[in-house]
Amino acid sequence: MTKLLQEAITAISGLSELDQDAIAKMILEELASQRRWQETFSQSEAQLAPLEEKALSELNVE
């Protein structure tokens, strides 16, 4: 665990249980969102490759 994360956890541990749960929920939701984004991006990579090639070729023409 990083020093910064440890500091955050120490600070959070001094809060009420309700506030701790609210922060934990926000963190877990953010992690889930990042995971969904990664999955979506990795699935669309094959579709994006031709667009990338076209954009690069257009840049070279001009």
Instruction: Indicate if the alpha-carbon torsion angle 39, 43, 44, 45 is positive or negative.
Output: positive
Burial class (CB within 10 angstroms; exposed 0-12, middle 13-18, buried 19+) of 8: middle
pLDDT tens string 28-37: 999 999 999 9
The reply to whether the predicted model has a pTM over 0.85 is no
The DSSP output letter for 15 is S
Q: How many domains does the chain divide into? A: 1
| Domain around 54 | 3-61
pLDDT tens string 47-60: 888 888 888 888 88
